[in-house]
Amino acid sequence: MHWPSPPETADAGVALSLCNHHGKAMRQIAVINQKGGVGKTTTTANLGAALALSGRRVLLVDLDPQAHLTLHYGAELVEDEPSVYDVLIDGRPVDEVVRPVGENLLLLPAHIDLAGAETELVSVVARETLLRRALTQATVAYDVLLIDCPPSLGVLTINALVACSEVLIPLQAHFLALQGLSRLLQTVALVRERINPRLRVGGIALCMHEATTKLASEVVDDLRRFLESARDSTAPWSDACVYRTCVRRNIKLAEAASFGQTIFTYAPRSNGALDYADLAHEVLEHDGGGAVAGAEPAAATHPAPEPPPLAMAPVAEPAVPAVTDAAAPEARPVESPARASGRNPRQRRRRPPAQTAGESAAAVAQPAPTP
């Protein structure tokens, strides 16, 4: 496995407001790992709930066509209720689609029709910035934005990376879990270089952790060494940490999801609740400078050294997603939309997929906000 080399420079510029209505610094966190089943949705749901319990106003965005985050909050949509699909494809205001799912908690829900968005956005101009624009125009107030991403590095995940300033990577510390990390970090670096200079990796959260295994501790040591080697560099992960809190394997977390509840209502004394409460404290502590209003990426003193390779066999990586500049006049394909077809029998199609770039842009693209 080759760790990515960081870009030498990062463009300056801030595109999305960094303050909420009270002038307080906001956190905008994309929960990403292109591997499925690593704990993204569980982390988004329960970290969000823990932050809300601590008094933060939290906006959750379900950007996964599987809509697991929406189900986790027991907010399954019935036919024709608006979802994040309508925000991205039809330009429907976020304010009309968000719904309260608890005290201090708002959810921008997903429906399985979101799978169609991957295909429908292929010809849309500036499709990577749709979510950012929609959120910028929203008037809902929040302190923390948490986006649950699909298990891919396609156009939906790129939208999350463009809309956020921070990446949280849930990871299971075993051999296979590290396979895609290099590609994920490369994608983060690419998005930061081309579209979103504020983007950085906040931290890696170890999920379903089994601290007693030798392999897990070796993997964690490797990760910490790698992150240490990037300190004071230009890499988007130069301030990243492996959070001290490891979310232990706890069946209550899986049960809570199946009952449409967070761990704090389902089993508030469980290890799962304790771990996510601790993780929330750590995430609030470790803002890495990214939550400071007006902050630019920290000045780098040197490019990141080449990190030591992890001891693992090389694996085939998915195709690098094409990241286009928001202002680029031409639309380019982002990723094979194969996963969008035939998987969801309930898929609602409201718009024929064959659109010209111009028609799509007129329908969904709003004028870019002034930075």
Ligand X SMILES: Nc1ncnc2c1ncn2[C@@H]1O[C@H](COP(=O)(O)OP(=O)(O)O)[C@@H](O)[C@H]1O
> Smaller CB distance to ligand X: residue 253 or 323?
253
CA–CA dist 167, 328 (Å, integer) = 25
Residue 42 Cβ, how far from Mg ion at the closest point, in Å?
A: 8
Assign 3-class secondary structure to 229-273: HCCCCCCCCCCCEECCCCCECCHHHHHHHHCCCCHHHHCCCCHHH
What's the burial of 278, exposed, middle or buried (CB within 10 Å: 0-12/13-18/19+)?
A: middle
Helix count (H) and strand count (E) of the chain? 13, 8
Residue 250 Cβ, how far from ligand X at the closest point, in Å?
A: 5
Residue 207 Cβ, how far from ligand X at the closest point, in Å?
A: 5
In the chain, at which residue ranges do the beta strands (DSSP E only) sit? 27-31, 58-62, 99-102, 105-108, 144-148, 166-171, 200-206, 241-242
- Would you count residue 168 as binding ligand X (CB under 6 A)? no
Residue 73 Cβ, how far from ligand X at the closest point, in Å?
A: 13
Which residues, in sequence order, are CB contacts of 84 under 8 Å at separation 6+?
A: 61, 62, 63, 97, 108, 109, 110, 114, 131
Encoded one letter per residue, x for contact with ligand X by CB under 6 A and - for no contact, window 324-353 reads ------------------------------
Contact residue for ligand X among 8, 11, 36, 306 (CB under 6 A): 36
Q: Of these partners, Mg ion, ligand X, none, which one is at the site of residue 297 (CB under 5 to 8 Å by kind)?
A: none
Residues 208-267 that bind ligand X (CB under 6 A): 208, 247, 249-251, 253-254, 257
List the structure tokens of 212: 């007693």
Q: Of these partners, Mg ion, ligand X, none, which one is at the site of residue 144 (CB under 5 to 8 Å by kind)?
A: none
Q: Within 10 Å of residue 243's Cβ, how many Cβ atoms? A: 19
Q: Of these partners, ligand X, Mg ion, none, which one is at the site of residue 194 (CB under 5 to 8 Å by kind)?
A: none
List the structure tokens of 293: 């209003």
Q: Of these partners, ligand X, Mg ion, none, which one is at the site of residue 250 (CB under 5 to 8 Å by kind)?
A: ligand X
User: What residues pair up with 205 in beta bridges, in sequence order?
Assistant: 170
Residue indicated by tokens 């956190």: 27
> Smaller CB distance to ligand X: residue 207 or 300?
207
Q: Of these partners, ligand X, Mg ion, none, which one is at the site of residue 38 (CB under 5 to 8 Å by kind)?
A: ligand X
> Smaller CB distance to ligand X: residue 88 or 207?
207
Contact residue for ligand X among 39, 203, 236, 307 (CB under 6 A): 39
Question: How far, in Å, are 207, 257, 271, 285 from residue 251 at the CA level?
Answer: 13, 10, 9, 28
Residues 67-96 that bind Mg ion (CB under 5 A): 68
Residues 58-117 that bind ligand X (CB under 6 A): 68
Q: How many residues bind ligand X (CB under 6 A)?
A: 18
List the structure tokens of 278: 């601790």
- Would you count residue 40 as binding ligand X (CB under 6 A)? yes
Torsion sign, CA atoms 45, 47, 50, 51: negative
Q: Of these partners, Mg ion, ligand X, none, which one is at the site of residue 37 (CB under 5 to 8 Å by kind)?
A: ligand X
Residue indicated by tokens 């270089």: 193
User: What residues pair up with 362 in beta bridges, in sequence order?
Assistant: none
Contact residue for ligand X among 2, 9, 11, 37 (CB under 6 A): 37
Contact residue for Mg ion among 33, 41, 123, 238 (CB under 5 A): 41
> Smaller CB distance to ligand X: residue 219 or 257?
257
Residue 304 near residue 233 (C-beta atoms within 8 A): yes
Residue 295 Cβ, how far from Mg ion at the closest point, in Å?
A: 30
> Smaller CB distance to Mg ion: residue 41 or 262?
41
Going by C-alpha positions, the residue among 32, 35, 53, 34 that lies closest to residue 43 is: 32
> Smaller CB distance to ligand X: residue 7 or 151?
151
Residue indicated by tokens 């991957």: 118
Residues that bind ligand X (CB under 6 A): 36-42, 68, 151, 207-208, 247, 249-251, 253-254, 257
Residues that bind Mg ion (CB under 5 A): 40-41, 68
